[in-house]
Amino acid sequence: MTEPNEAQGLVASLRAYLEELQETGVDGLPLAGEASPPAAEPLQKPAPAPAAPVVPGRMASEAAGGKGETLDELRLELAACSRCKLGETRTNLVFGVGNPHARLVFVGEAPGRDEDLQGEPFVGEAGQLLTKIIEAMQFKRNEVYICNVLKCRPPNNRNPQEDEIEQCQPFLLRQLKAIGPEVIVCLGTFAAQTLLETKDPISKMRGRFHDYHGIPLMPTFHPAYLLRNAGMKREVWSDMQQVMKLLGVEVHKK
């Protein structure tokens, strides 16, 4: 019989494996005995469409006009949120942290255990790596803004569910409008797929700018994924160098 500790270990390894699959764009596995679906891709792939030209900071002018709502107003509106079931299980709502007029915003998936306890996004191990990335980009953590698609922790860090995204997403859009950043970086599959309304894998989306309501958006791998796949740091650094260039920050040779 499987011992309880062994079973927990198996569950943890399986979870890490599934998260890795998801990070590379696989979001489902066939049931045993289910026939594999026919190959959907033509043998000869059409050349990828060039990324739409994006002009930095179109939303920023709205924020600069001073007519829009502020982050504090939005935070108040969300304070006792019970729009979805995560309101019943969270310890703290994790609204976001950083400069309310940041030029650069990082968007992650959802708070984890540490974030739920502290009420601040990206404070666990993945958060510490994110801070290193931010500093390598010549910014201080408090100069940028950091938030998540979901503001409350899904129990046991399970994947966000449709109804939760549906309730929370409009607040993210309003949050980004209030900040008016020049660039958004999406951390991981979930944030990029949600903001860009696509099911494309992160491996296909990263490495080039996309357009999000007039703001250039760069998808890249999630820091939690980097903790398990250090070999992908090179890709993330290359994505962040593009972001630095767009923001006019000098890229030092490593």
C-beta closer to ligand URA: residue 122 or 139: 122
- Find, among 171, 12, 140, 213, the residue nearest to 76 by Cα: 171
What is the closest distance, in whole angstroms, from the C-beta atom of residue 3 to ligand URA in the complex? 30
C-beta closer to ligand URA: residue 60 or 129: 129
CA atoms within 13 A on the CB side of 118: 13
Examine residue 98 and tell whether it contacts ligand URA (CB under 6 A).
no
- Find, among 242, 205, 237, 241, the residue nearest to 51 by Cα: 205
Q: Which stretch binds ligand URA (CB under 6 A): 4-12, 75-83, 108-116, 159-167?
A: 108-116
Site string for ligand URA, 115-134 (x = CB under 6 A): x-----xx-x-xx-------
- The encoded tokens of residue 227 equal 């903790």
Task: Report the residue number whose CB is nearest to ligand URA.
Answer: 108
DSSP run (H or E) holding 145: strand 145-148
C-beta closer to ligand URA: residue 116 or 182: 116
Examine residue 112 and tell whether it contacts ligand URA (CB under 6 A).
yes
Three-state DSSP class for 189? helix
Examine residue 108 and tell whether it contacts ligand URA (CB under 6 A).
yes
Contact 112, 124 (CB under 8 A): yes
Paired with 98 in beta bridges are: 145
How far apart (Å, rounded) are the C-alpha atoms in residues 89 and 92?
A: 9
What is the closest distance, in whole angstroms, from the C-beta atom of residue 76 to ligand URA in the complex? 21
C-beta closer to ligand URA: residue 151 or 177: 151
Paired with 97 in beta bridges are: 146
Give me the residues that bind ligand URA (CB under 6 A), please: 108-112, 115, 121-122, 124, 126-127, 148, 224
